[in-house]
Chains A and B, each alone.
Chain A
Amino acid sequence: MIYREAGDFKTGYREDGQTFPIKLDRWAYYGVLAVAFGIIPFVINDYWASAVLVPFLIYAIAAMGLNILTGYAGQVSLGTGGFMAVGAYAVYKLMTAFPDVNIVIHILLAGFVTAFVGMLFGLPSLRIKGFYLAVATLAAQFFLVWLFNKVPWFYNYSASGQITAPERTFLGEAVTGPASSAPAKYLICLGFAFVLAWLARNLTRGMLGRKWMAIRDMDIAAEIIGVNPLGAKLSAFAISSFFIGVAGALLFAVYLGAAEVGEAFGINKSFLVLFMIIIGGLGSIFGSFAGAAFLVLLPVLLKNLLVGSLGWPTDLAAHLELMIVGALIVFFLIVEPHGLARLWALAKDKLRLWPFPH
């Protein structure tokens, strides 16, 4: 009765093609935005910011980036960790070289640097496909991590080999460095996540997104109907890497504060983000958020349950977490290969007919 297109009359193409065609969805969307921007910043504390919300938003950005490349354009990448490292080191170099420029501009520039690097490593995708490409992107992962480890210029010749984010402000609030407050960190991540999600949604349903999906479904057929594979694949690599670079920059500057490349941006990061988009749903912006939320929350919940309530040792909990994540991935692939986004869509379809399913 309530969740219906019926009665919500559209009088133009613009309204007809909007992201949320159902009124209730629109309200829910505005409601979520209002809570996220209007209420949470006032009630957030350090624990929630650092354990749940900030990593969730950052990983959601990274997952959107990988989803553009893997879910929409069909190019499997295992180099996410390496590209995040590019974003992190780019923002670090920019922050220390130009202290007067606004941090937001630095983060965006870091995204562009990563986009360029991503395009470079995306070039072989024109010749290499499928598994071979997935393994080829590992070259990016290992080479980039090695590069940031071995060339001291990247970490400003610091003795420990670590990079540490200096304090930078945005609109008078410190957003990086030890003095930054939880609401400030949360809001800057939320701002980026919101704008980038809006961008991703509108890119993927426009001409570019359709080109990507055509390439994904069958690249030769796409070429025959007039999609330029060079342009489509490289743009997917560039835009995906831009997102991932921004995520890497935020992860380092806002969330971690200090990072060591092998530890923070190793191959496990690549897999983590890949898992997020598998569990969330390939080819879905909502899925990127759902997957990120799931894999950020799961360890926190497990830790609270096993360590907090049952009193088990932390290392055991960490190993069980590995098992559970692994089993869940296999489970999801068997039961619902399209992930949480698909479950959500199914639920909505059911709701549309409820309570008269026939």
Chain B
Amino acid sequence: MDQLIYATEVLLNGLMTGVMYALVALGFVLIFKASGVFNYAQGVLALFAALTLVGIQQGQIPFAHMINAMFGTHLETFGWTVPSLVAILLTAMVMVVLAFLIEKLVLQHLVGQEPIILFMATIGLAYFLEGLGDVMWGADIKTLDVGLPQGISETIEGVTADWFGYGFFIDRLDLWATAIAAALVAALVAFAQYTKQGRAMRAVADDHQAALSVGISLRFIWVMVWSIAGFVALVAGIMWGTKSGVQFSLSLIALKALPVLMLGGFTSIPGAIVGGLIIGVGEKLFEFLIGPMIGGATENWFAYVLALIFLVFRPQGLFGERIIERV
């Protein structure tokens, strides 16, 4: 009985992690659908966004480290702090500019290349952004605080203690993150379904040339999609950054989103959500039930192996479009 209650707690935590995975995976799916680019840099975008947010918030001077090394000065900060909301807005603007630059400098020159070349280009982009983030804002681990509540949720602990005689440990930050991620996912789905730009985006995803012929600007859609992906990355960066500090490991959440995508199918928004939940719950439960028997820390690989086994039976993922190959 106790075991079952613990498992329920693990399940809830897994669901909440799953929503976060779904959020990151959604950034991938949006770009993949609209431009056929499998964007490996999504995780580094999240890291970059979080670094920029902290930098702006604390009034750091960009490239201070490099300027100091070049000219022997001792610059550190502007000496002001920016309110969280303003900083978030400024960071969102930076992400839009970044999206524009990526389109202009990279993607535009790679139109019509094979998907695998585009994928490798985004790996290069990821390295570049990782280095840029470090050079701009310094590589030390930063704490991010935008005023989200943290710590154990007493309400839930109290209620569950009344019901089962055991209080569930659930972080308030996780609750908030889940709520925000769920809202964002809903907003993105609504955007794709009901707005003019969303419809144009789906048209581009469906067929580039047909979309061009009815007067949709591919370039605008791409910049827009990368901006949205940047915004999603910002939200993901805020959540994960608040939870575990802004550091390099933040960019690894992108790697976690990959099995989510494989499970859900690269082209499906519902797939990303369901896949995220399956992976989130699956890895937490596996770690809880089987982990202690085989040495723990199974979360590193469980998602991949699950996705691998799953794909052998259904190569296009849960909701992906059926792959039809012709000679």
B139 interfacial by beta-carbon distance below 8 Å = yes
- Residue contact B130 to A139, C-beta cutoff 8 Å: no
Does A129 lie at the interface of the complex (its beta carbon under 8 Å from any beta carbon of B)? yes
The one of A139, A312, A313, A319 in contact with B305, judged by C-beta atoms closer than 8 angstroms, is: A139
Q: Does B262 contact A (CB under 8 A)?
A: yes
Q: How large is the interface on A (under 10, 10 to 19, 20 to 34, 35 or more residues)?
A: 35 or more
Contact A323 B128 (CB under 8 A): yes
In this assembly, does B126 line the interface, its C-beta being within 8 Å of a C-beta of chain A? yes
Interface string of B101-128 (1 = CB under 8 A from A): 0000010011001011101110111111
Query: In the complex the two chains form, is A326's CB within 8 Å of B300's CB?
Result: no
Which residue from B126, B311, B317 sits with its C-beta under 8 Å from A127?
A: B311
How many A-B pairs fall under 8 Å by CB? 146
Give every chain B residue within 8 A of A149 (Cβ-Cβ): 297
B311:A124 contact, CB within 8 angstroms:
yes
Chain B: how many interface residues by the 8 Å CB criterion? 53
**Selected contact of B109 from candidates A142, A311, A325, A334, CB within 8 Å:** A334
Task: Decide if B127 touches A322 in the complex (CB within 8 Å).
Answer: yes
User: What CA separation (Å) do A271 and B122 show in the bound complex?
Assistant: 12
B325 / chain A contacts, CB cutoff of 8 Å = 220
Residues of B within 8 A of A187 (CB): none
| B327 lies within 8 A of A224 (CB) | yes
A150-B295, A323-B128 given; A221·B327 CB < 8 A:
yes
- Say yes or no: A143 contacts B295, CB within 8 Å: no
Instruction: State whether A146 and B300 are in contact (beta carbons under 8 Å apart), knowing that A136-B262, A315-B139, A333-B120 are contacts in the complex.
Output: yes
A residues near B188, Cβ cutoff 8 Å: none
Secondary structure at the B interface, as helix, strand, loop or mixed, is helix
Q: Is the CB of B106 within 8 A of A330?
A: yes
Which one of A124, A135, A275, A316 contacts B259 once the chains associate, using CB atoms below 8 Å?
A: A135
A326 and B128 form a contact (CB under 8 A): yes
* B311 adjacent to A329 (CB under 8 Å): no
- Find chain A residues with CB under 8 A from B119 CB: 131, 134
| Cβ-defined partner of B327 (8 Å) among A218, A313, A319 | A218
A128 at the B interface (CB under 8 A): yes
Instruction: Give the residue name and chain of the B residue nearest to A76 (CB).
Output: B116
The answer to whether residues A333 and B117 also contact, given A224-B327, A326-B127, A326-B129 and a CB cut-off of 8 A, is: yes
Does A130 sit within 8 A of B, measured CB to CB? Answer: yes
Question: What are the residues of chain B within 8 A of A136 when measuring CB–CB?
Answer: 262, 304, 307-308, 311
CB-defined contacts of B301 to chain A, threshold 8 Å: 139, 142-143, 146
In-complex Cβ contact of A132 among B117, B125, B311 (8 A):
B311
A131 close to B266 (CB less than 8 A): yes
User: Distance (Å) between the CB of B122 and the closest chain A CB?
Assistant: 9
Chain A positions 242 through 276: 1 when the CB is less than 8 Å from some CB of chain B, otherwise 0: 00000000000000000000000001000100110
Task: Please encode chain A, from 92 to 131, with 1 for each CB lying within 8 Å of some chain B CB and 0 for all others.
Answer: 0000000000000000000000000000000010011111
Known: A135-B304, A329-B124. 14 other contacts (CB 8 A): A127-B311, A130-B115, A136-B262, A136-B307, A139-B259, A146-B297, A146-B300, A146-B301, A224-B327, A274-B120, A312-B66, A319-B139, A323-B132, A329-B120
